Amino acid sequence: MSIRSIVGSAVVAATALSFAPAAMAEEITVKLWSRADRAGPLRAGNIVAAAETLNAMLKASGSEKSVKVELIETNAKGFDADALDLLKAHSVGEAPDIAVAAHEWIGSFVEAGFAANMEEHIASVPDLYADMIPSLWTSVSYKGNRYGVPQDSEVRMFFYNNDKLRALGKSEEFIAGLPAAVNSGEFTLYDLCDVAGEAVEKGIAEQGLLHRPNIGPDFQMLMASFGIEMYNQEQAKLQISKSKLTEYYGWLRYCVEKKAIPADITSWDWSSVHDAFRGKKTALIKFHGIWHGNNQIKAFGLELDDKDGYFDKITWTNAPAAAKGGSPSNMSHPIVYVVNEQSDQKELAAMLVALASQPVPNTRHAVTTNHTPITFGQTAMPDFVEKGWLQIAGTPLLKYAQFMPNHSKIGQYNSITFQGVQAVETGEMGPQEAAEFVIEELEAELSDDVIILD
């Protein structure tokens, strides 16, 4: 795909927009909703910059129209609170033309009549979206259609301390082959806990495997390893399998009994989890997000550009399958752009989203926030090559990415299933008892929004 073809598609679209009825020069205001986000200011900033690009295109096409972006910056503490505020604004007719949001709210936005179906827009400017990493479209899909555009991506995977693997007697061939062994299904979750437990038993590590200490989406990659599909696309409902949930909790108990997973980890705080892997370096394995890469580099005494040094110290893998020959998985949680279905400026808003999603602006965001790209071509861009080698290395893992279901009650679902994690790891309940408890709670709290498969 050439730069000329991309620009050509955008100019054609901009020209079409310029023929909307207007007798005189006119400045059109497009309202953009975004929570104040110091960690990602270009999520909104790239839309503002896209207006400058679009204005140049409109001028070149002979249009006397121009576009101005009015930023509505909220003080919501998180994306969930922000999404609820956005829905309230929509309910009283005060919704913006574009919103920056967490992808799992897409379903709620669609059902509320806020999110516009983007299929026609995407088809109208195919060159602007042709290089999008295919798996990312899943994050904005609802009932078979795309209702948003991924603004960034990330990957959450397993980190291994190679020096501890070496101290355990693992060969360089074993260490280098771990990612492939996981992807082929040769190295399973049970193998992982056996290795982690052995490291603790022999005093090489104080902790074998660390996970997040609180409720969150990371556990979904483990559930996927046991064949748990959390979402029914056709019915747009959450779902759970009692038998597979029992297997998942059984594995957690297996890991605790092997002393691989600390039984009390759900009482830890985040600083203790991070410090155990990259500070005190007492842990063998941890799973969380790629954005910790730079902190790991510093903690291991490396230079930021020392790619070889980093991968000498740390190995990444997807979450292994539960059984030999199974499929691996990982977790991604994109932030997305959503266009208001009821906006008078829907086409202009969609074009701003398209322009903000191009390689140059998106790369500016990604390399400064440690996010993986949204298009394959970005990995060859100078800024990524120079500053984003961690993100380039993580991009192939997106092939195996899992995404949270686009359902408003996924937070409750995660909270309830986490109660089972706590109960099993602390020994309060056995795997089957925990699964039965979780099923009962899901049915009680989610009612018709959850399907119990067995």
pLDDT given for residue 444 in this prediction: 97
State how far the Cα of 109 lies from the Cα of 115, in Å rounded to an integer.
5
User: If you classify domain 3-153+333-402 with CATH, what class do you get?
Assistant: alpha beta
pLDDT at 40 over 70: yes
Q: What confidence tens digit (pLDDT) does each residue in 306-326 have?
A: 999 999 999 999 999 999 999
Q: What digits encode the pLDDT tens for the residues 333-348?
A: 999 999 999 999 999 9
pLDDT given at position 22? 47
Report the C-alpha gap between 210 and 158 in whole angstroms: 10
**Contact between 408 and 239 (Cβ < 8 Å):** no
| CATH 3.40.190.10 residue window(s) in the chain | 3-153+333-402, 156-331+409-452
CA nearest neighbour of 107 among 5, 212, 236, 238: 236
Which numeric CATH code is attached to 156-331+409-452? Answer: 3.40.190.10
| 118 — pLDDT class (breaks 50, 70, 90) | very high
Average pLDDT of the residues of the chain:
93
What does each C-alpha distance from 103 to 53, 155, 183, 218, 434 come to in angstroms? 26, 15, 26, 15, 30
pLDDT in tens, 200-241: 999 999 999 999 999 999 999 999 999 999 999 889 899 999
CB 63 within 8 A of CB 114: no
Q: How far, in Å, CA of 180 to CA of 174, rounded? A: 10
pTM of the complete model: 0.88
Token code pair at residue 311: 């991968």
Residues 340-371 have pLDDT tens digits of: 999 999 999 999 999 999 999 999 999 988 89
